[in-house]
Amino acid sequence: MNSNQRKRWFGLVLVIFVCTVGFSTPFQQFAAFPNELRLFSGQMKRLQYGVPVHAEVTVDPQMLQINGSSEQSLSVNLNEPFSLQPNQSGQTNMKVKLFGKIPFKTIKVNVVPDLRVIPGGQTIGVKVKSAGILVVGHHQVMDRDGAKQSPGEAAGLKMGDLIMSINDVPINEVHRVGEHCEKFGNDKQPLQVTYKRGGQLNRTKLSPVYDADDRAWRLGLYIRDSAAGVGTLTFYAPDQGVYGALGHVITDMDTQTPIEVGEGQILQSNVISINKSQTGEPGEKRAQFVKEGKILGNIERNTPFGIFGKMNEAPTHSYSEKSLPVAFAEDVKEGPAQILTVVNGQKVERFNIEIVHVSKQSGPATKGMVIKITDKRLINKTGGIVQGMSGSPILQDGKLVGAVTHVFVNDPSSGYGCFIEWMLQDAGVLLKSSSKRGGEAA
C-alpha cells in the first residue's frame, strides 16, 4: 500500500471516529453543559448531566454551596445529580475540571433575588378603554345630492388605525367625535386628524358629510373606544403590588390589532356556565361581573404576554394564600403539572395536565410549551381548554412555571402555554436577562 492510499485510509478512519464520537451520548451530554446558569437566591437547584466521569467543581463558597458543602472545591460524580445552593444574589463562576485535572468549562452563574408570588386562577372581568378612537370599519354616507361616500376612507384612514386627536385635541371617547363633526358643520373647515398606524403618528384632513336621513355630520367610519371580556388572573406579586393575567395580548375582534390601553380595570367575575369545547369549535366560560363587585386592579399595559397593572391587596377566592417560588424558562420540563382555574362560581380548583413539549427560548416569545389536559373531571366539565381559561396558572414541582394561552381548535384537550418568566418581566417584577365588544357608527 503506497503512502497516498495510507493517507486516504487514515483520513477515512479519522472521519468515522469523529462522527462516532460526535454522535455518542456522552459527547452530546458534554456539549449540553450550559455556558450560564440562573438561580434564585435561597432556592436549591439540582443539576444532572448524566456524564460517567468525576469532576472537580470549584465555586465561591460565600455565594454557592455544592451538595451543602462549604468547601471551595468538591469532587462530584457527573453521572449523578448534585445540588447548588445559592446564598446571596450576584454573579460568580463555577469551574469544572474533568478527573480533577483537565479544565473543561467555566460556567457563569447569575443569582437573582428570590421571587415568590401568589398564584391566581380566579376568573376576572376585563374592561379596557383604548388610548384613542379605534377605526374598525368604513360605511357609506348619503349626502344631500344622493351620492354615497365615506369621508374617512377618502382621507386614507384604515381599519386598525387609532385616532389620537382631532384639531390637536386628544380624544378617546366616541361621543366626543360628534362634537368635532358639528363644529365642522359650523366652520366648514376640514378636521385635522392625527392617527397612529404601526406605531407611527400620521396626520390627514377629513371633511365630514351631512347625513340627510340622520340629520347629523358623519365620518363614514365605524369606531370603538373600549372593549370588555373575561379571562383568568395568573399571579399577584404582594411585595410589588402588581398582577399579571391572560397570558396573551388583548386584540380588537374586528381588526385583530392589539388594543393600546389608555385605562382599564379588572373586576370580580362569576362563572355561570360552561359551553364545552368540541373538535373544531372551542368552548367558552360564560361569566358575569359580580354585582357591585369591587375593582381588583387597574390595567396599565397590554403586551403579547397579557395585561398588567397595580393591585393593592391579595385577591379573594385564591386556591391558596401561600406564595410560591417561580421558575425560569429553562427550568420547565416535560412531564406532569397542574393548572388552577374556575369552572363554577368563583371557586378556584386544581386540575392535572401534562406538559408534552417545551420550547427552548432564550428571550421572550409566545408558545413556550404545549400542554394537554389529563384530568378527566375537567375534560367532562369543559371538554378541554375553553375561552376564558387563558391566564390560568401552570404549576410544576411546587413552582409557578407558566400560564395557559391558547387552545388547539382540532384538539381542545391541548393548547399552548407561555413561560411565567416573560410575564414577570412585563409586570416589572423580574429584570430582563442577558372579550365581547361592540362598535358605534360615526
**In degrees, to the nearest 5, what angle opens at C-alpha 333 toward C-alphas 329 and 334?**
135
Burial of 429 (0-12, 13-18, 19+ CB in 10 A): buried
Residues in the chain: 442
Given the residues 269, 390, 392, 435, select the one marked as catalytic.
390
Contacts for 22-29 with beta carbons within 8 Å, 24 or more apart?
Answer: 26/51, 26/52
Say how far apart CA 64 and CA 111 lie, in whole Å. 9
Residue 373, classified by CB atoms within 10 Å of its CB into exposed (0-12), middle (13-18) or buried (19+), is buried
DSSP letter, residue 20: H
Backbone φ and ψ of 29, nearest 5°: -70, -35
- Catalytic, out of 138, 375, 413, 426: 375
Q: Is 207 helix (H, G, I), strand (E, B) or coil?
A: coil
Catalytic position from the list 130, 165, 226, 248:
248
Residue 435 DSSP class: -
Percentages (nearest 5) of helix, strand, coil residues in the chain: 15, 50, 40
Residue 64 to residue 72: CA distance in whole angstroms: 9
Buried b (16+ CB within 10 A) or exposed e, 59-95: beeebbbbeeeeeeebebebeeebebbbeeeeebebe
d(CA 179, CA 136): 20
The yes-or-no answer on residue 375 being catalytic is yes
Q: Nearest CA to 426 among 301, 328, 263, 249?
A: 301
Strands (E), 139-260: 141-142, 148-149, 162-166, 169-170, 191-197, 200-206, 209-211, 216-218, 221-237, 242-246
Instruction: Give me the sign of the Cα torsion angle 257, 254, 302, 386.
Output: negative
Cβ-contact 139, 222 below 8 angstroms: yes
Residues marked active site are found at 248, 375, 390
